[in-house]
Structure 1
Amino acid sequence: MRRGLFCLLLIAGAAHADSSLPPSPLAYTQLADPAQEAEAKALMETLRCLVCQGQSIADSDADMAGEMRALVRQRIAAGERPARVRQWLIERYGDYVTYDPPFSWVTAPLWIAPLALLGIGVLIARRLFRRRQA
């Protein structure tokens, strides 16, 4: 009974994930200063939408991405450096918000797996070339 109620609440929560409130003014409006907008846009390209997960907040139409764009623009307009805004978003939403997670024990497989697969591929190719030469 509890599991059924929990699943029902999860489904209902997902159905109402988008807000009926109007978007933040800076979600779809560029900053007046072109240099600040360029900094904000570059930063938004490196941040993952937490709803879409496959898109950056610059490309996503989700309400959450709009709110995150507004937060980025507000902080950049207030004079914060993009690196500090990025760090603040990571502190707030976790490492998953960035496409470039920092190296830690949790993210080590993400960094090590490509190198290990490349090494395995080189070993396999090497054995195949040796067999052909013999």
Structure 2
Amino acid sequence: MVHLVLFQPEIPQNTGNIARTAAALGFPLHLIRPLGFRLGDKRLLRAGLDYWPHVDLRVHDTWEAFLGALPPEARVWAFSARAEQSLYEARFQEGDYLLFGPETRGLPPGILARFPGVRIPMPGPVRSLNLAVAVGVYRQLSVG
């Protein structure tokens, strides 16, 4: 099991889809405020379908509150298009925290400097993946 962490997510449909993925895989989902939507947003709830009772949802009011909740041995991986290490080179372990930034701006430089960065290689002309798809790419790698 790993932890999925969304830093200041902006789009409720992406977060709802990621919540479904978290419920399906049994991964805790951490949301770090501020959020770009309310937790009762109809678009968020619709994207998560009727799986919300199965989501281990943990909401942190600030980045500092999230850091304070981490166990001392926690390993955090910061996903970013600007990271040098490929997802395929990283050695993930049970209990790791996979950190994803907001859809329009990604993770701030200070966070990227603190944790190992991981990028999803995209040799084609596409600049980035949808956040919900990026979260799913990790799962494909971890089982294959």
Same fold (TM over 0.5): no
| Bigger helix fraction | 1
TM-score (norm 1): 0.28
More strand by share: 2
Greater relative contact order (Cα 8 A, min sep 6): structure 1 or 2? 2
